[in-house]
Amino acid sequence: MQISELARRTGVPVATVKYYLREGLLPSGELTGATRARYDEAHVERLRLVRALLGPGGLSVATARSVLAAVDAPGTAVHEALGAAHRALPGVGPGDPPDLDRARAVLARRGWRVAEDSPALRALAAALAALEAAGYPPGDDLLDRYAEAAGRIGEQDVAEVPAGSLPEAVRFVVVNTVLLEPVLLALRRLAQEDASGRRFSGG
């Protein structure tokens, strides 16, 4: 199929498809002439993935490029792919390292083992610092409950990874890491709304 059909089938404007090609989010089609290229079903799928990452996934083009690079890297082991995806995700800038101790303490209480330089660890520390700066330093009990809930989820996420094909596993890990975040946040808000209704408006 040609670019116009690729665009039509995915609902993405042709100019935007060209933009994604330029940005390296979408591999170029097979050239059949100086002004013709052929695209296939894989491109349709990839384009849908790109749109999901950029839109609901909330990734920037640059971040999506890194994440997709992790997906494309051949022979990546699943654990490394997950690390690469985490590293590519919008983390904390190169600001001064906040107090990792508090974050590490939470992990230690749950017995979690993560890389020393895990971006998620830095992200947690930064988030805790932000809460502190806003005047609501979270208590250990709160953090522990959050960690317990997060633990169930992370456990399940990893358990669901398909064992067969390695590239498929990598793709699964990346997609689910990114696209289940909005699901989790929406569910949390819904749970809050339900609990708030029960507590505060006696429904």
Least separation in angstroms between residue 36's CB and DNA is 5
Q: Is 93 in the site for DNA (CB under 7 A)?
A: no
Using CB under 8 A, pick the residue from 39, 51, 59, 67 that binds a copy of itself.
Answer: 51
Nearest CA to 21 among 5, 1, 37, 34? Answer: 37
Q: Which does 177 bind (CB under 5 to 8 A by kind): a copy of itself, DNA, none?
A: a copy of itself
| x-marked contacts with DNA along 19-58 as a string, rule CB under 7 A | x-xx-----xx-xxxxxxx-x--------------x----
Q: Which does 35 bind (CB under 5 to 8 A by kind): DNA, a copy of itself, none?
A: DNA
Reported for 71-80, long-range contacts at CB under 8 A and 24+ positions apart, including other chains, are 71/167, 71/170, 71/171, 71/174, 73/170, 74/167, 75/166, 76/166, 76/170, 77/166, 78/161, 78/166, 78/169, 78/170, 78/173
Q: Give me the residues that bind DNA (CB under 7 A), please.
A: 2-5, 13-16, 18-19, 21-22, 28-29, 31-37, 39, 54, 60-62
